[in-house]
Amino acid sequence: MTSQRTRMRMIERLRAQGIADEVILSAMGTIPRHIFVEEALASRAYEDVALPINYGQTISSPWIVARMSELLRVNPNLEKVLEIGTGCGYQTAVLAKIAQKVYSVERIGPLLTRTRIRLQELQIRNVYLKHADGLLGLAEAGPFDGIIMTAVTTHVPTLLLEQIVVGGRMIFPKGTQKQNLCVIERNSQGYNETVLEEVNFVPLLGGVIKK
């Protein structure tokens, strides 16, 4: 269940589900998703479901990863992207295929350590990982052409909005009981928000966990 053939079935399913960006599909077709989940769950890695990755976190379903990446890549010339919530690193690896530089912030130290090893094994070298509070973003590396947030929030801190370039966008889930995928676009006048389909993410939390 971890073969290239299985991966290609996932790609065909994503096409059937409406993912049209062939750059995203090609990127996901080259990344072995099963190495980003626990060994006991490897046989389910290519199913269209979110799976637990310890510390109360999940790896998003393939469709969510593809959808968020596709929304980000409306601007095809992504020089710098910020990911808030590295998690297991699968979304990070996909971003590394579509952006020149990826900066990713994770608050849970042990998750970041594992992800660093996985990305090294895949020889992905254009990703910069930081153990920090994602609510603060990464101002020292910004501003960014795009920001992806992989946990749900009720509002986006102004500090993060200021780290988007004019013409850039942020993709994130927003809500409480009901969550929706949202896009915030920054223009010369300010910010425009678009609310999209319903989703389900773990909550965005502040602070850092070292062990």
Report whether 55 contacts 110 (CB < 8 A): yes
Reported confidence tier of residue 100, pLDDT bands at 50, 70, 90: very high
- 2 has pLDDT over 70: no
Q: What is the mean pLDDT of residues 166-185?
A: 95
- 94 has pLDDT over 60: yes
- 1 has pLDDT over 60: no
Q: According to the model, what pLDDT value does residue 76 have?
A: 84
Reported confidence tier of residue 208, pLDDT bands at 50, 70, 90: confident
Q: Would you kindly state where each structural domain of the chain is located, as residue ranges?
A: 4-199
> Which tens digits make up the pLDDT trace of 18-32?
999 999 999 999 999
CATH architecture of the domain with residue range 4-199:
3-Layer(aba) Sandwich (3.40)
Q: According to the model, what pLDDT value does residue 211 have?
A: 66
pTM above 0.75, yes or no: yes
> Which tens digits make up the pLDDT trace of 180-202?
999 999 999 999 999 999 999 88
> Which tens digits make up the pLDDT trace of 29-52?
999 999 999 888 888 999 999 998
- 112 has pLDDT over 70: yes
Q: What is the mean pLDDT of residues 122-140?
A: 95
pLDDT > 70: percent of the chain: 99
- 175 has pLDDT over 70: yes
pLDDT > 90: percent of the chain: 80
143 CB-near residues (< 8 Å, 6+ apart): 80, 162, 163, 164, 165, 168
Mean of the per-residue pLDDT values of the chain: 93
* Active-site position among 60, 61, 69, 104: 60
Asked about 60 being catalytic, the answer comes back as yes
Q: What is the mean pLDDT of residues 57-61?
A: 91
